[in-house]
Structure 1
Amino acid sequence: MKTRRAGGLTRFWGLIEGQEGGGRNTGYYMILGSSLALTAIGLLMVLSSSSVSAISKESSSYGLFIRQGVFALVGIALMLVLARMPVRLYRRAAWPLLGLALVLLLLVLTPLGVTVNGNRNWIELGGIRAQPAESAKLAMAIWGAHVLATKSRLVGDWKHALVPVVFPGAALILLFVLLGHDVGTLLVFVLIVATLLFLGGAPKRIFVLGGLAGIVGVIAVFAFSDNRMGRLNAWLQIDCEGNSACYQPMHGFYALASGGWWGVGLGQSRQKWNYLPEAQTDYILAIIGEELGLVGALVIVVLFAVMAIAMYRVAFQSHDTFVRVATGGIMAWFIGQAFINMGMVTGLLPVIGIPLPFISYGGNALVICLCAVGVVLAFARQSANNEPPSTTRRKTHQSA
């Protein structure tokens, strides 16, 4: 019995790694299919969750849906273009991408910056609002992977592992994000950088010291902010009668509880009638759970799992260090952010205001997520075509 079970686990792991069943390009279609499916579900749920609130803010109940649909079309077009790009071009663009990301983050601190719900992480120009931190996630994954791949023989030394990926690269990005009071985005960046270093071969003691520093940092972030302490107390169910921060998670629980197994029906949510704040953004999963039930919410979980497995296959099958590290960073971004959002909605984590990738309303975030998918699709195409590693294409890549 144990032998049969071990054999089943071996076959399952071989299927994940692409050693059994299907060609090397299976990961390409799994990533493409899961990302398009998540985007389609997101559009449908943005329409449902925003139809009531949009009446008072837009010219029609379809206003937010139409806007999100336009961004989805732009994002899919860019995704398909980026999927055809040679991998070596991404390495050439690594430093310019980081520089552009830092400039955009700096603009948040200028008069162009806009504060939303206490977080100053937006810029607005000509009526168009964008969140620079989203593009910085992709830039960090590509640039960090490029530097670590270039210094692959030296990364075992902690100084080469930290410089310049952590100091000054990631440190500058984290500083700008922290100045904007966006703790959720800060956590996602930490996940991306930690994954890049781990896959790049950084010494294990870095993660031990980094974990201890992270714990101290989280305690400090909550301790010096009354708003975050209120959210922490709401999560711990402390003094909820006088704590307004309990209102949102409470109504999120109402939505999930009333959904049951199969939901109350698409478009039939009660909580979206201005009872649940941020119903189309941070708490859209609660509306999914209410209208489509536990089964509908599990579909979202399965699609993210498919995406994670497919990205793992792309990284595992590639002989290019840059591809492996960058794919891992993007996977940590998508799956880590999805986990934090789902944990926040279901009460496993405190509410920190972070959207669900591909699903939540937000055109800028959707476009950048689809662009990141396009980058991974380009990696998958290189692996399927057995193209040589990007480091062999130009000698200039031998120095960071």
Structure 2
Amino acid sequence: MVSTPTRPSRRKPAVRQHSSGTSTAQRSSPAAPAAADAVPRPEGKGALGAFARMWRFLEGSDRQTSGSSYYMILGATLALTAIGLMMVLSASSVESIANAASTVEPTDEGAIVFDFFFKQSVYAVLGVALMLGLSRLGPRVFKFLAWPGLGVAIVLLVLVLLIGENINGNQNWIRIGNQSLQPSEPAKLALALWCATVLERKRGLIRDWKHALVPVAPLGGIILLLVMLGGDLGTAIILGMIMGAALFFAGAPIKMFTIAGLVGIAGAFGAILLNSTRSTRIEAWLRLNCDSASDPCFQSNQGLFALASGGWWGVGIGQSRQKWNWIPEAHNDFIFAIIGEEFGLIGTLVVIALFGILAVATLRVARRYTDPFVRILMGSILVWLIGQAFVNIGMVTGVLPVIGVPLPFISYGGSALTFTLAAVGVLLAFARRMPPAAQGTALSANPVSAKTK
């Protein structure tokens, strides 16, 4: 009477089988959850399944994100910088010789050919050193630099209007001896730092459009106005993208972006109508004035010819024909066309893929943080770099009008290269200190396993 009911109860966990063929003891063992996690989840079919796979790739596993994102950002940046130096050497050699031919004093021919390359290399070394230095800093230092950085940016932009040098209709440079500084480039980084610092303090108030706009819109608008007074609409658009990205990642109301977009479009149309050069470029983009004597479509047409002649594999490094004074600013705004001609479609896709790697790695790091300052700052820098690359490539391929925006890391320009690399240093600083998945936004479905890694 005592043993009869107890013996079957002891045996049942060991012998009772379920329809799935798994015993009760096996299902209750500690190894069972791990075995269940090892079974791949159904991906689904169609667009939803593809989106789910892409999202998991962007998230990455805890081990992948913590170990590889830093080196993905660093590797993509150094690769793009190296490509830029190589292409500046190739695209600028002809113009260097042409400039030297117009001088009276004889100069060394080798120094002539490498003139732009040597200058760009110096700025690349300076930028990499600044990048590595900023990568050792933390959020407290960046917040401390926000207000002084904004003040210095405003002062430099005012000096541009007072004593700046006008080149091709834009007054954007300050001449210092034999070197020139373009203050709008450090202004991009200063604006991103300042917006992140101010919006991080707003926190829960950001849903109110008044708190979202003040003081970001007034003080940020001063930066945009000063750049616009210098005649640089392209840089003003990039600065506007930085401000919009900061507000978006801070959580500002979506309807506010709709209103701001309409106002921005109206302002852009006004700026175009009030400036004959801009209106001519828009007409050239729409192919309305290509038959005029001045041929405003010449630059964009030559860029398309360069891309077309490159084919799949290109004509070979240094063998571009369009750089022989056919494409104005071949080593600057239209350097992507020279890449397409010398390295073909494959070369252009490699450049685009490197920008994609930089974007994916930055998103992986930003998703780990719960600190709004880090997320806002990383999002602003990401939109700055990738957005500017998109505008430049769209400009060269004819998708967008020519507005004079350089390709980050690759186009010639010391100020642009130095402060673009400095912005990457900020990204690396956060990638180095990235919290585990359980402390930030969890990327793993099992937070317990994330803590033990």
TM range (shorter): over 0.9
Match of 2:90 in 1: 48
Residue in structure 1 matched with residue 259 of structure 2 by the alignment: 209
Q: Distance in 1 between matches of 2:176 and 2:169?
A: 20
Candidates 193, 198, 213, aligned match of 2:243: 193
User: Which position in structure 1 is the counterpart of 2:140?
Assistant: 88
Give the TM-score of the pair, scaled to structure 2. 0.82
1:84 alignment partner, SS class: coil
**In the TM superposition, what is the alpha-carbon distance from 1:188 to its structure 2 partner?**
0.4
CA deviation vs aligned residue, 1:32-62 (integer Å, no higher than 9, x gap): 0100000000000000000111113354101
Residue in structure 1 matching 2:73, options 17, 31, 55 = 31
**Number of corresponding residues:** 387
State whether residues 281 and 355 of structure 1, in contact with CA within 8 Å, keep that contact through their aligned partners in structure 2: yes
- Which SS does the other structure have where 1:369 is aligned? helix
Query: Match for 1:39: what amino acid?
Result: T
- C-alpha distance in 2, partners of 1:275/1:136? 33
C-alpha distance in 1, partners of 2:258/2:51?
31
Partner of 1:356: 407
Q: Tell me the equivalent position of 1:60.
A: 112
- Tell me, yes or no, if the aligned pair for 1:315 and 1:328 is still in contact at 8 Å: yes
Cα deviation digits, residues 197-238 of structure 1 (max 9, x gap): 011111222111101101111111111111111111111111
Report deviation, 1:100.
0.8
Q: Residue in 1 aligned with 2:159?
A: 107
User: Which residue in the other structure is 2:274 paired with?
Assistant: 224
Q: Distance in 2 between matches of 1:18 and 1:77?
A: 29
Aligned residue for 1:258? 309
State the Cα deviation string for residues 269-291 of structure 1 (Å, max 9, x = none). 00111111000000000000011
Q: Answer yes or no: is the 8 Å Cα contact 1:118–1:181 preserved in 2.
A: yes
Structure 2: how far apart are the matches of 1:66 and 1:365? Answer: 16
Between 35-44 and 244-253, report the one with greater CA deviation. 244-253
Report what 2:221 is aligned to: 171
Q: Larger Rg: 1 or 2?
A: 2
Counterpart position of 1:329: 380
Q: Which amino acid aligns with 1:22?
A: Q
Matching residue of 2:60: 18
| CA displacement 1:304-353 (0-9 Å, x = unmatched) | 11111111111111121100000000000001100000000000011111
C-alpha distance in structure 1 between counterparts of 2:439 and 2:171, whole Å: 43
In the alignment, which of 135, 139, 143 is matched to residue 186 of structure 2?
A: 135
SS at match of 1:108: helix
Which stretch of the first structure deviates more once superposed, 197-206 or 331-340? 197-206
1:294 and 1:278 mapped to 2: Cα distance? 21
8 Å Cα contact 2:185/2:415 also seen in 1: yes
Query: In percent, how many aligned pairs have the same letter?
Result: 51
* Residues 1:293 and 1:349: Cα distance change in structure 2 (over 3 Å): same
Q: Which residue of 1 aligns with 2:9?
A: none
Look up the SS of the partner of 1:289 in the other structure: helix
Aligned to 2:424: 373
The answer to whether the 8 Å contact 1:14/1:20 transfers is no
Shift of 1:245: 1.5
AA aligned to 2:289 is: D
Q: Deviations over 1:123-151 (max 9, x none)?
A: 11222201100000000111100110111
Distance of 2:339 and 2:429 partners within structure 1: 32
Q: CA deviation at 1:388?
A: 8.8
- Decide which moves more: 46-55 or 20-29: 20-29
Matching residue of 2:443: none
Amino acid at match of 1:28: Y
The residue that corresponds to 2:106 in the other structure is none
- Partner Cα distance (2:251, 2:198) in 1: 12
The amino acid of 2:121's aligned partner reads G
* CA drift at 1:20: 6.2
In the aligned structure 2, how far is the partner of 1:233 from the partner of 1:138?
Answer: 33
- TM-score where L is the length of structure 1: 0.93
**Displacement over 6 Å in runs of 4+:** 385-389
Partner of 1:396: none
CA distance in 2, matches of 1:262, 1:65: 25
Q: Aligned-residue CA RMSD in angstroms?
A: 1.8
Q: 1:7 to 1:347 in 2, by over 3 A?
A: closer
Amino acid at match of 2:334: Y
- Distance in 2 between residues matched to 1:310 and 1:13, nearest whole Å: 13
Q: Secondary structure at the match of 1:240?
A: coil
Contact 1:17 1:313 in 2 (8 A): yes
Deviates more, 1:274-283 or 1:125-134: 125-134
User: Which deviates more from structure 2 when the two are superposed, residues 101-110 or residues 18-27?
Assistant: 18-27
The answer for the alignment partner of 1:123 in structure 2 is 174
AA aligned opposite 2:220 = A
1:300 aligns with 2:300: no
Task: Please say if residues 87 and 382 of structure 1, whose CA atoms lie closer than 8 Å, have aligned partners that are also in contact.
Answer: no
Contact 2:289 2:296 in 1 (8 A): no
